[in-house]
Amino acid sequence: MNKIPSVNLADFLSGDAKRKQKFIDEIGHAYENIGFVALKGHFLDQKLVDDLYTEVKNFFDLPLEVKQGYEIPGIGGQRGYVSFGKESAKGKKEGDLKEFWHFGQYVENDPKLAEEYPDNVEVKELAHFNEVGKEAYKMLEKTAKYVLRALSLHLALDENYFDGYIKNGNSILRPIHYPPIKTEPKEAVRAAAHGDINLITLLMGAQGKGLQVQNHQGDWIDAIAEPDELMINVGDMLSRHTNNKLKSTIHRVTNPPKELWGTSRYSIPFFMHPISQMKLDVLEGCIDKDHPKQFDDITAGDFLNERLRELGLIK
């Protein structure tokens, strides 16, 4: 495959059995091959997208001392601000050329989980930042729920298989700012080649050049979405759970050519995580003579901690 396929969630939600099956087959096929799709028909309307970008730009425009006041020690960057260069891709020493913010779960009716997760951090300088972030979080979570339902059916599981694992899950909304590049970055890139940790990622802002995906042949292909599309990819948790039937594809964000060094890039991924107790053990239905079990049993919580250590976010 050398192009990211485009699918429409409206097919899945149409109530028409044929259209629903078409969506399941298209996304299933795409995830067994390239691991990415561009998705139309999601639950984010244009006003919400515009409002979120406005708030996010306003936040990153705040003075560094103000932003650093929202960098919370001891929580592995899981909420609030993470400053420039802190995170590096697994196996890489140079930090990525980015700063970012994390909105986390808004736990409902589960005091134990509310206790387990760090609190969301409120930005005091911006009147709408917190509420707009929360609204986008909810709409992305809702979109992701239906995508996982389609994948459950593709895997011959119960349609609602993931519902209980993602309700109040440890998902993260991460607005990212890649600032203008001022001096030759040498080895560092905006985001070094990596696979995402989580179940699936929904990315707003893949409209411009920058994001590239590595296909089976090892070629890097541009992943560019239409204005009304989210880019959605499989993460390592889902790949493990399905014995790599669904592919977590390596991707990166390249540095722009020198004449565009002066421009920022903004992107906003939503990393869909389950609750930490979910067992990522390989599904029985994904093991057979030709596909022996490839991964050890592990919970989502333990897997996440292992990876945050490798990214340099926890000690």
Cβ atoms of 198 and 275 closer than 8 Å: no
Is position 278 an interface residue for ligand AKG (rule: CB under 6 A)? no
Which residues, at least 6 apart from 2, have a Cβ–Cβ distance to it below 8 Å? Answer: 215, 219, 221
Cβ atoms of 229 and 266 closer than 8 Å: no
Hey, how many other C-beta atoms are within 10 angstroms of the C-beta on 66? 14
Is position 253 an interface residue for ligand AKG (rule: CB under 6 A)? yes
Q: For Fe ion, which is the closer residue by CB, 51 or 196?
A: 196
Stretch that binds ligand AKG, among 64-72, 180-188, 205-213, 278-286 (CB under 6 A): 205-213
- Binder among 26, 51, 55, 196 for Fe ion (CB under 5 A): 196
Per-residue binding letters, 149-178, with ligand AKG (x by CB under 6 A): ---------------------------x--
CB of 186 to Fe ion, least distance (A): 22
- Binder among 196, 199, 241, 275 for ligand AKG (CB under 6 A): 196
Lookup: tokens for 283: 């599904």
Is position 56 an interface residue for ligand AKG (rule: CB under 6 A)? no
Distance of CA 292 to the CA centre of its chain: 28
- Binder among 149, 247, 251, 273 for ligand AKG (CB under 6 A): 251
Is position 269 an interface residue for ligand AKG (rule: CB under 6 A)? yes
- For 182-189, the CB contacts below 8 A with 24+ separation are 182/261, 185/97, 185/255, 186/94, 187/94, 188/85, 188/94, 188/95, 188/96, 188/97, 189/94, 189/96, 189/97, 189/252, 189/253, 189/254, 189/255
Q: For ligand AKG, which is the closer residue by CB, 203 or 282?
A: 203
Closest CA to 39 of 202, 266, 220: 202
Lookup: tokens for 82: 């993470």
How many of the chain's residues bind ligand AKG (CB under 6 A)?
Answer: 11
In the complex, which residues of this chain contact Fe ion (CB under 5 A)?
196
In the complex, which residues of this chain contact ligand AKG (CB under 6 A)?
176, 191, 196, 203, 206, 210-211, 251, 253, 267, 269
